[in-house]
Amino acid sequence: MKYDFDLFVIGAGSGGVRTARMSASKGLKVGIAEYQALGGTCVNVGCIPKKLFVYASEYSHIFDQAEGFGWSIAKTEFNWDILRENKNKEIERLNKIYNNLLDHVGVKVIRGRASILDPHSVKVGNNVYTAKNILIATGGTPYIPEFPGSKLVVTSNEAFYLKELPRKIIIVGGGYIAVEFAGIFKGLGVETHLVYRGPLFLKGFDSDVRNKIKEEYENQGVVLHFSTDVEEVKKINSGYCVRLSTKEEIDVDLVMYATGRIPNIKDLGLESLNIKTKSNGTIIVDDYFNTSEPSIYALGDVIGRIELTPVAIAEGMALSNFFVTGMRSSVDYTNIPTAIFSQPNSASVGLTEEEAIKIHGIDLRIYKSQFRPMKATLGGGDSKVFMKLIVIHSSDVVIGCHMVGDYAGEIIQGLAVAIKAGATKQNFDSTVGIHPTAAEEFVTMRQPVD
C-alpha cells in the first residue's frame, strides 16, 4: 500500500522533532503535527524559559554580595515586564529555529490537533493523512487535583506569562518544578510560601541533597509548609485566601500548583486502538518504543520513563535509526545526570545513598564535604556548598555523585562522563584538581564518613 508518509509524528517537542528531523534527513518522507508552538514543553513552558527566569532571580543574590567586592549599588529595581517580554522574544526566536530545522530536511509541518483514526491514519482538522508508521510524542501537561477553588490557581505554564509579578505567592508541590519556582519568585523579591503534603520535598533525590536545599531555602526566607495540604482557595478583594490543613489561612496574590504532570493523550484517539496504557495514562512501550499496535510508537514524557529533554532526544535518535536502517536499538537509562535549578543549584548522577544501600548493603563508602564557597569570604552570606560521592567498597567504583552549590549542573555534567565510564575512587584521587574552584573538592575528598 502507498502511504502519504513513511512516518507521521504527533507532537513537535524535543523527542518528536529529533525523530522527524533525523528520519527525514536520511530520506524518509515525514510529517509532523503540532497544535501549539513548536519546541514542546522544554522550549515554550519548561527548561528554557525556566532557566532564563532562574538567571534573572539570581541577580538579587549577586547584588547582596557585590559590596564586599567593592561595588557600591545604591538601589536596584526589578522590572517584570522587561523580563517577560524579552523571554517571549527569545522563545519566538527558538520557535522559528525549530520550524527552519524541520523545513530544511523536508519535514511537512501540519498545524492542528491530531487524532489517530486507525493504525495507519491520522486526522488533523478536516484532513486525513496515511503513514506506514505513527509516532506519539505528545509529552505531558500539568496536573491540578480537584478541590474547592481549584479553578482559581495557575500552573507553571501560566506562570511564564503573568501580567504582574505577585507580591506574595503560595506554590503547592514538592517536585523540582515547585522547588525551582520557589527559588525564582523568592529571588525576584516575592514573599514565597511552599506547601507540600509530604515531610520533605524532592522525593526520590538523595536525602542529604533534599535536606541541604531545605536548609538553603529556609536561610533565604522561603516559608516551607511540610506535611500540609491545601483545603480550599477562595477569591477575596486583595487576591486569594488559602486555607491549609493546619487550619492556617494565608492571603496571597497568586496560587501556583506544581503537583506533577500527566500524559498529554486527551482526544488522541487511543480508545479505539489496541494501545495499552498504565493506570496513570502513560503509554506502554517495549524496549524499542513500540506500542501494542505494531505500526504505532511512542517516546518522551508520554511513556513516563525518565522525563527529561535529553532522554527524549536520545530515544528519538534510537527510533529514527530503526526507521531508517531497520536495526533496533534501545536507550541505556542508567547513570543519567540531572539538575535541579534551585538556588543554589543541585545536580546528581548515579545512585542516591538510599538506592545504593538497597542494592549493595554495607559494601559502601560514603564521602561528604560541606564548605563555604570562596565568593562568600568577601561577599558574605550563609550558603555552603555540599558534595557527596558514593563508592562500592569492594570494587572502588563510584556509583553516585551529588552536589548542591553554584554551577552544580555544569560540574556534574563533566563528572557524569566519568561515572558512565566506570571511574573508581582511585581515578578521582589521582586526578589533579583545578584550583581555586569548588569542583576540585570532588578529587580531594579522602576520608569517608562513618
> 325, 349, 374: which is the final residue of a domain?
325
Cβ within 8 Å of residue 131, ≥6 positions away: 3, 4, 5, 6, 7, 8, 31, 120, 121, 122
User: Which DSSP string corresponds to 118-175?
Assistant: ETTEEEETTEEEEEEEEEE---EEE-----TTGGG-B-HHHHTT-SS--SEEEEE--S
Residue by residue, pLDDT tens for the chain (450 residues) are 899 999 999 999 999 999 999 999 999 999 999 999 999 999 999 999 999 999 999 999 999 999 999 999 888 999 999 999 999 999 999 999 999 999 999 999 999 999 999 999 999 999 999 999 999 999 999 999 999 999 999 999 999 999 999 999 999 999 999 999 999 999 999 999 999 999 999 999 999 999 999 999 999 999 999 999 999 999 999 899 999 999 999 999 999 999 999 999 999 999 889 899 999 999 999 999 999 999 999 999 999 999 999 999 999 999 999 999 999 999 999 999 999 999 999 999 999 999 999 999 999 999 999 999 999 999 998 899 999 999 999 999 999 999 999 999 999 999 999 999 999 999 999 999 999 999 999 999 999 997
Strand 140-142 versus strand 261-263 pairing type: antiparallel
Within a domain: residue 107? yes
Q: What is the DSSP-derived secondary structure letter of residue 290?
A: B
The count of structural domains within the chain is 3
Between the alpha carbon of residue 176 and those of residues 94, 329, 372, 380, the distances in Å are 24, 30, 24, 27
Per the structure, the complete domain to which residue 200 belongs is given by 150-259
Angle at 210 between CA 207 and CA 212, to 5 degrees: 105
Between the alpha carbon of residue 38 and those of residues 102, 261, 353, 370, the distances in Å are 10, 20, 39, 42
Q: Which residue numbers are catalytic?
A: 435
Q: Which of 310, 320, 328 is nearest to 416 (CA)?
A: 310
Query: What are the pLDDT digits (tens) for 245-300?
Result: 999 999 999 999 999 999 999 999 998 898 999 999 999 999 999 999 999 999 99
Within a domain: residue 362? yes
Cell, residue 287: 524496549
> 234, 259, 284: which is the final residue of a domain?
259
Q: What pLDDT does 1 receive?
A: 82
Asked if 255 and 231 touch (Cβ cutoff 8 Å), the reply is no
Query: What are the pLDDT digits (tens) for 138-153?
Result: 999 999 999 999 999 9
Residues 123 and 175 in one domain: no
Query: What are the pLDDT digits (tens) for 313-329?
Result: 999 999 999 999 999 99
Rounded Cα distance, 427 and 413, in Å: 17
Residues 227 and 304 in one domain: no
Residues 22 and 64 in one domain: yes
Within a domain: residue 233? yes
